[in-house]
Amino acid sequence: MTADVIVVGGGIVGAACAAELAARGMTVDVLDAGGIGGGATAAGMGHIVVMNDSPAEFALARASRELWLALGPQLRERDAFSRCGTLWIAEDDEELDAARAMRDAFAAAGVRAHMVDRAALRESEPSVSHAMQGGLLIDDDAIVYAPAAAQWLLASSTRIRVSTGCAVHSVDAAGAHARVTLANGERRTAAHVVIANGLAAPDLIAGLPLEAKKGHLLITDRYPGTVRHQVLELGYIKSAHHARGTSVAFNAQPRPTGQVLIGSSRQFGTLDPAVEMNVLAMMLARATRYLPGIGGLNAIRAWTGFRAATPDGLPLIGPARFPGDRLWLAAGHEGLGVTTSLGTAKLLVAQMLGEPLAFDMPDMNAFCPQRFAPEHADG
C-alpha cells in the first residue's frame, strides 16, 4: 500500500482529517486536483461559530470550536486566528426574542453568551446603526485564514504526504484494499480512502445529494476598528439555511490586517463563478442598513465561491455506502466547513477505528451518508 489512508481533497476538512489520522499514527496521502486550501476553503470567510439549527449541528460546532480554541495558540501569524467573538444584531423586538432563545440554548450547553442592549451595542460597535435594538454576544467565537490553516495542518506531521495538481479519476473500495486511480492513469492503494473534496465528491461517488450554493464576498482596504467583532444580523440563519432563490444577509468581519470582510449571499442553480454586480449591490445595500458608513470604505476585491450543501443542511460524515466500507465521506458542510472541520475529523476517525467519540453527540447517525439512500427515504 502507498499509505494507510488516502485523503482526496486538500481543503480545510481534508487537511483536518489528514492531521487527525496522522496523529493516530497512520501514514496519509493527500491528493488535490489544485492546490492546498483552494476551493470553498479559499473562498469563505473563515468564521468559527457555534450554530444551533439542530442538536447535531450544535454539538459538532461546539466541540469543533473548542478544538480550534485549543489549537489557536499554536497557529502562526499568517493563519490570522483571532478570538474576536460574534455579535448577532437584533433590529426589532422579534429578533431580540430570537436572541434570548439563542442565549438560553447556548447557556444550557455551557456556551458563553449574553444579551447586549442598545447602549452596550453602541459602545462595543460604534459603527453599527443606532436604529438597532441590541443583540447577542458569543464571546468565544473566532476567525481564521483557512487556506493557511489547512497548510499548517498538513505540515503538522511527517506522516502526511501531499500531492497537488493530482486529479483523481475514480475510487474503488471493493476487496481487501481501497484503490484510487489518478487522471494520469497512476494507481494508489490504501486501507481506506476519505473523500473530502466538496462539490467534486459526486464525480467519485455517484448519486451524492450535494448542491452548490454560490456566495459573494467583498473585502475593503485597511480601516482598523471599523468593526471589533464578527457582526451578523439575526436574520442570517434563515437566509443561510432555508431561503431559496437569491438571498442576502449582513455579515461583516474584522480581519487582523484591519480590513473588513463583508458578506453574504446565496444563489442556487448556477456554477458560474463570475461576480454578479446586481447580487453584490443587494449585499452591500443590506450591509449599509447595519453599517451606515460602509459606502465610504474603499473596496479592493470581490469574489465568489461555492458551498457544498445537502438537502437537510447537515454534512456527510462516515462510511460512504454501508457500515464497514473502506470508502469514507467528509463533505457537504455548506458554510460551516471551517468551523466544523476539526470535529469532523475526530468523528470520522473515531468511526474508522471503532473508538468512542471524544465529545458528546446526541445522534451518532445524524451525519450518516446512508440517510439519503432510497431505503431511508420514508424513514
pTM summary value: 0.95
Lookup result for grid cell 439549527: 53
The C-alpha cell that represents 175 in the structure block:
476487496
Q: Are 348 and 328 in contact (CB under 8 A)?
A: yes
How, if at all, do strands 187-195 and 327-331 pair?
parallel
Helix runs in the chain, H state only: 12-23, 39-43, 55-71, 93-108, 118-124, 146-154, 236-241, 277-290, 337-353
Query: Residue 103: is its pLDDT beyond 70?
Result: yes
Which of 47-56, 235-244, 320-329, 354-363 shows the lowest mean pLDDT across its residues? Answer: 235-244
Q: pLDDT tens, 220-275?
A: 999 999 999 999 999 765 554 455 678 999 999 999 999 999 999 999 999 999 99
Which residues touch 67 (CB under 8 Å, ≥6 apart)? 342, 343, 346
Domains of the chain: 3-46+146-209+312-376 (3.50.50.60), 86-139+211-309 (3.30.9.10)
Determine the pLDDT at residue 379.
42
Amino acid at 76: R
Mean pLDDT of 20-32: 98
Amino acid at 216: H
Determine the pLDDT at residue 323.
83
DSSP string, 317-360: EEESSSTT-SEEEEE--GGGHHHHHHHHHHHHHHHHHT---SS-
Bridge partners (DSSP) listed for residue 162: 30
The C-alpha cell that represents 172 in the structure block:
474503488
Which of 117-121, 331-335, 363-367 shows the lowest mean pLDDT across its residues? Answer: 363-367
Mean pLDDT of 22-50: 97
Task: Supply φ then ψ for residue 215, to 5 degrees.
Answer: -135, 150
Query: Residue 373: is its pLDDT beyond 90?
Result: no
CA-wise closest residue to 336 among 83, 69, 40 = 40
Lookup result for grid cell 506531521: 157
DSSP string, 270-327: ----SPPHHHHHHHHHHHHHH-GGGGGSPEEEEEEEEEEE-TTS--EEEESSSTT-SE
Q: What angle do CA 257, 237, 290 make, to 5 degrees?
A: 55
Query: Residue 63: is its pLDDT beyond 80?
Result: yes
What is the biggest distance separating any 2 CA atoms in the chain, rounded to whole angstroms? 65
| C-alpha to C-alpha distance for 355 and 348, rounded to whole angstroms | 10
